[in-house]
Amino acid sequence: MKKNLLYILTLVVLALTSCESPEYVAPTVQRQALTSISAIFTSGPFTDQEMAKLDIPEGEIPARLVIPVPYFYPVTSDNETTEYMTNVRIKAEMATGCNIEPAITVLDLTKENAFVFTDAQGKKTNIVITGERVKSNACELTAFNITSPVELSGVIDKSSKKVSVISADDLSEALATAEVSAHATISPDPAEAHNYNEPMVFTVTAHDGVTKAEYTVVKEVPEKIDFGFDKNSVEQLFNMDPVSNLGMPAYNVLVGPTIAALKGKVVICAGDGSTPIYINGISGAKLGEIKLGAAVAGSITNDEAEHLLIVNKANGGETLNIFRSNGVEDTPVLFHSFTNPSSFPCGSKIKAIGNIDGDAIITITNEGIDGVSATGEFIMVIVRGGVVADVVAQDVSATGYAWGSAPVNFTTVVPRTVNPADGIFLSYYGPSQLSHIAADGTVSGQFNSDTTGWGLNPNCLDSKAFNNCNYLALFVVSHFPAWGMGPQLYLYNVTDMGKFTGSDITDLACLELTNQGIEWYQLGDYSVASGDVVIAPSADGYKIYIYYYDHNSQVIGGYVADCIKR
């Protein structure tokens, strides 16, 4: 580790000593003289976050550079950016050997700010940097639901702008709700009665009042591809700071956040006894708090049929209560109650695969006790036909695996399928290996899960089935985000375990989605390296969502993909 630390510090020193430009003007690219100019908040809840960015195309640099500042920030809010325009920090990206004089620091973007740009050949150009608030041109239909005479969720194909309503009911006078891009409008009004037995066209108009998109709602059943999701349909939904945007605890507060997703919402549980909040699963906008009732939110998750599961934390011998609900506005009801069969605490992580109204497996990982002992124990709650058939305490310590306390030093245990005979997956810091352990206790796969070898915490897992495939998500949170180490996301197709092969997590043959360059928002320090990841198939079987949360790096984000045959 000392060698790694020395190596990183050496790189930092070399980077700092090689800079020839003023602060915030970093020689970062070789493509052209001036690549982009970014505006950064200097005050308010979003201090140090990027407000806006102007990308400069190749060619002659324009004499007037206008940074397009969004009308609202975040764009999903009603928070106008006017008050921040007069005191904005500027960051310029330009090639080595270029310079801007005088040095760029903090500007008033309501004014024309004059500078001289000098390229690597010594050519000088007079430029002006200013800003302009612009209204969004986003005009997407993000959700469409029939509310009467039946409740139906429309399946939106963004490429064709078609919304499929899967139903055999008479929809000649149906009412609906729609969600569109922030500050956009939709017409005609879906809340009024319309005839959806025939194709119905809606127009979404962006906030700028000019940009428009037409969507056609059709009563039909879209054809699916045979297996899994269409890789061309993968889209990142949002990636943002949960502290400034959602009011979640900061990185240095000892909590272990868990997340769940259902019916277009993402539920976030801090794990500190507070009531979980929920956000829009498409835009990330905060919507409110869930109803908790008698449930105690130690951790949360969702199954494959859009049910929310909530469990309390319990020491050895204490009672564990698993509550369930069908939506964020429903009061949770008790699903099953039992005594923690271990002497080790649990409840900081709960995971579920399958449908708790049918066949499912719920896993709850036990936690080691600092200064006492590590543990290799977890609890498997087996659901058959919508009722709990068995609660099984398992221990994998004979394999050499044992973990410490929550929320940082323990693992997430997830089953491969709803059949206990198909084994489990686990991964945690030290030995930092993504492993599959078969039902007989043998380790049938074992791969390095920390690409730095020491600085990441690969202990966030989830597993779900979607469109005839079994998927495993691994989210790697960062121990040291302030040192340039960021979170990473991996999604594997573990239907065929013959493809669970490779040298490490980055090149497994079953890898289907990865992001090793997730942007994060806590850059100043490091503290509690906890987080979560969840897979959420839509109940209609057409879409799969993946959401992640890194508490230390302060980032929450999500992806969506579908299995529509095009």
- pLDDT, tens digit (0-9, with 9 covering 90-100), for 193-209: 999 999 999 999 999 99
285, two tokens? 């906008």
Handedness of CA 306, 310, 377, 509 (dihedral sign): positive
How many CB atoms are located within 10 Å of the residue 305 CB? 17
| Residue 524 three-state SS | coil
Give me 262's structure tokens.
């259902």
Q: Is 292 exposed, middle or buried (0-12, 13-18, 19+ CB in 10 A)?
A: middle
What are 166's two structure tokens? 């899967």
Rounded alpha-carbon distances, angstroms, from residue 412 to 417, 451, 465 = 15, 19, 18
Do β-strands 424-426 and 456-466 pair in parallel, antiparallel, or remain unpaired? unpaired
Min mean pLDDT across 20-29, 222-231, 445-454 is at: 20-29
At 309-358, the pLDDT tens digits run 999 999 999 999 999 999 999 999 999 999 999 999 999 999 999 999 99
| H helix or E strand, kind and range, residue 9 | helix 2-17
Measured distance CA(333)–CA(56) in Å, rounded? 55
Paired strand residues for 437: 424, 443
Q: How far is CA 412 from the centre of its chain?
A: 17
Give how far Cα 383 sits from Cα of 362, 418, 471, 494, 539, Å. Answer: 8, 9, 20, 22, 18
Q: Is 231-562 in the same CATH topology as 141-219?
A: no
Does an H or E element contain 13, and which?
helix 2-17
Helices (DSSP H) in 502-545: which residue ranges?
none
How far from 125 is each of 19, 34, 63, CA to CA, in Å?
A: 22, 11, 8
**How confident is the model at residue 40, as a pLDDT?**
96
SS3 content of the chain, % helix, strand, coil (to 5): 5, 45, 50
Give the fold, CATH level 3, of 23-134. Answer: Immunoglobulin-like (2.60.40)
Q: By CB neighbour count within 10 A (0-12 exposed, 13-18 middle, 19+ buried), where does 148 fall?
A: exposed
Q: What is the DSSP letter of 104?
A: P
pLDDT of residue 58: 86
488-493 and 511-515 as β-strands: parallel, antiparallel, unpaired? antiparallel
Tokens describing residue 63: 């004499």
At residue 32, the pLDDT reads: 56
pLDDT of residue 545: 98
Is 25's pLDDT higher than 70? no
Question: Is residue 23 scored above 70 in pLDDT?
Answer: no
Region 371-386: mean pLDDT is: 97
Instruction: Output the CA–CA distances (angstroms, integers) from residue 524 to 488, 509, 516, 527, 556, in the order listed.
Output: 19, 36, 20, 10, 18
- Cβ contact 480:523 at 8 Å: no
Contacts of 349 (CB under 8 A, 6+ apart): 256, 258, 299, 364, 365, 406, 410, 412, 532
pLDDT for residue 271 is more than 60: yes
How wide is the angle at C-alpha 40 spanned by C-alphas 107 and 256, nearest 5°? Answer: 155
Q: Computed over its alpha carbons, how large is the radius of gyration of the chain?
A: 25
Instruction: Give mean pLDDT, residues 502-516.
Output: 97
Rounded mean pLDDT of the chain? 93
**Phi, psi (rounded to 5 degrees) for 70:** -65, 145
pLDDT of residue 188: 98
CATH class of 231-562: mainly beta
Return d(Cα 552, Cα 550) in angstroms, integer: 6
Residue 163's SS3 state is strand
Q: How far apart are CA 77 and CA 63, in angstroms?
A: 33
d(CA 326, CA 176): 20
Q: What is the helix (H) or strand (E) element at residue 8, kind and residue range?
A: helix 2-17
Write down the pTM of the prediction.
0.88
C-alpha distances (whole Å) from 195 to each of 156, 168, 190, 200, 218 are 18, 14, 11, 7, 10
Residue 120, amino acid: A
Q: Using CA atoms, how far apart are residues 351 and 361, in angstroms rounded to an integer?
A: 8
How many other C-beta atoms are found inside a 10 Å radius of the C-beta of residue 42?
16
d(CA 425, CA 401): 12
Confidence of residue 388 (pLDDT cuts 50, 70, 90): very high
What are the residue ranges spanned by the domains of the chain?
23-134, 141-219, 231-562
Question: Class of 141-219 per CATH?
Answer: mainly beta
Q: What is the pLDDT of residue 142?
A: 95
**Cis amide bond preceding 57, omega within 30:** no
| Whether the predicted pLDDT of 31 surpasses 70 | no
Q: Is the pLDDT of residue 22 over 50?
A: no
Residue 126 CA to residue 233 CA, distance in Å, equals 44
